[in-house]
Amino acid sequence: MPIHHHAGKPARPEDRINIGRLVSDYFLLTPDVNIVEQKVSFGTSGHRGGATKLSFNEHHILAICQAVAEYRQTHNFEGPLFLGKDTHALSEPAFASAISVLIANNIPVIIQADEGFTPTPVISRLIISYNKEHAAQADGLIITPSHNPPTDGGIKYNPPHGGPAEGDITKLIEQRANDILAGGLKDVLTLPFPQALKSPLLKKQDFVEFYVSQLDQVIDMAAIAKSGVTIGVDPLGGSGIHYWPVIAKKYGINIEIVNPVVDASFAFMPLDKDGKIRMDCSSPYAMAGLIAMKDKFDISVGNDPDFDRHGIVTKTGGLMNPNHYLAVAIHYLMTHRDWPKDCKIGKTLVSSSLIDRVANYIDRPLAEVPVGFKWFVDGLHDSSYAFGGEESAGASFLARDGSCWTTDKDGFIMALLAAEILAVTGKDPHQHYLALAEKLGEPCYGRVEAVANLKQKSVLTKLSPDVISVDVLAGEKIEQILSHAPGNNAAIGGLKVVTKNGWFAARPSGTEDIYKIYAESFLNKEHLQNIIKEAQEIVDTAFKQAGL
């Protein structure tokens, strides 16, 4: 996709959404379950869609929450359900819809004390902490479409392990929700929202104090405070905006919030690469405002609306490539934490092979899994994984004592870790990356996207090694053709081809109508472009063979 001519520049009046119309469409438009695009569909991180497109409406939330209520009952989850929401316009009405259904189903629900916003990692931490101390198991729902544009809404379910639900769980919820939709919502139990708010089943808790008070269990907050490191924070209008001032005050850290605005239209955002408003903290276009301030702070950080992703900006290098920061974070943690030597480093198969080289260099086991943070959940939960990270700037890791911190991506700790690295070592993460690249090789990483319909995405999902009719990729002998991840033998929903100094992976997006080709070379940019070109030819051939 070409870079939009307005990418990185302030949003224009015509880029802003009509929030009133969007919310009206949420309540007034009725999806048709016979149309695939209007059904409930759980991708890599919950169900997402738009109200005007009839892919995220009140009917979807009522059906999904009823399906979750029934799933809880079937599995005897008798603890509370922690419910959170982000700052997207559709999150507020969806939050009300969810409470109406959950309370009607006699589920104890706990929300933020002021009915405010709650980041994804906070819900994960709440579930894990509660279930350590109670026999009756808790779970959670987070209403968020992550970094998606302001028009979108989303909802994801975290079962009692605290992380994203596994595919077999989301499939059950998805199927039941679509059955409920097909039945005209007759199986949905609801209470009027004002009545549900007054129910004794609905309780409120100060999630901010709960989470912030425990941060020193996972990050060396004292080292950051002692060093005087200055941190610039752009919450990108997201759900963690009220957490940062509390963090600064509690731990005596020099934090400045450069953008304190919450605006459901996200009109303050620079446009992303495709000219859309998108709160992608790994994008140099969306992060243009913070990048421009890089010399003002020792470390600058940004997060997406539900705070499960991180963007790291340094004085020495600007916005870090997410893969570069993952490699640095892994190297630092594994050499500065007293964790068991057999704890695994988890990475998705489209993350940089620099991580593989780091793991080999420090002699730690590596597990490469398919795309999706759900593949790290069990390992983080039982502490057999020290770290789990994916190329899209999402990661989490163990507490300092080796216990489980979260089983979902945590943008707070990844942001604060950058400050800890500088405080403890005197070098920022970009400087550490340069040192690693000098020792282990400098990767050239690329990702290209193209529009793909449901049939094309289905073809990509089912690609098998036999579609590769050549034994050379970009001038190098092909060493591996993978349709299953080596770390757990799970299907990758696409294909990965590996040579000595490069690789590519092709897979459909789980959240947008596109497919992606990821590629990397340890030789040069020309080699990278050759890999991408030949990868696109392979995908095009697969489409032609399928008659598309």
Burial letters 176-209, b for 16+ CB under 10 A, else e? bbbebbeeeeeebebbeeeebeebebbeeeebbe
Cα separation of 359 and 337, whole Å? 15
Both structure tokens of 86: 């982000």
Cα separation of 118 and 112, whole Å? 7
Cα separation of 370 and 166, whole Å? 13
Asked if residues 369 and 347 have their Cβ atoms less than 8 Å apart, the reply is yes
Q: Given the DSSP bridges, would you call strands 476-477 and 480-484 parallel, antiparallel or unpaired?
A: unpaired
Return the amino acid letter for 430: H
Asked if residues 179 and 145 have their Cβ atoms less than 8 Å apart, the reply is no
Asked if residues 457 and 464 have their Cβ atoms less than 8 Å apart, the reply is no
Q: Return all residues near 105 (Cβ < 8 A) that are at least 6 apart.
A: 66, 69, 73, 189
Catalytic residue among 41, 146, 227, 282: 146
Catalytic residue flag (residue 146): yes
Asked if residues 289 and 279 have their Cβ atoms less than 8 Å apart, the reply is no
Cα separation of 445 and 451, whole Å? 21
Instruction: Name the nearest CA neighbour of 148 among 447, 409, 510.
Output: 510
Q: How far apart are the first and last CA of the chain?
A: 20
Determine phi and psi for 520, rounding to 5 degrees: -150, 145
Cα separation of 358 and 323, whole Å? 12
Give the residue numbers marked as catalytic: 146
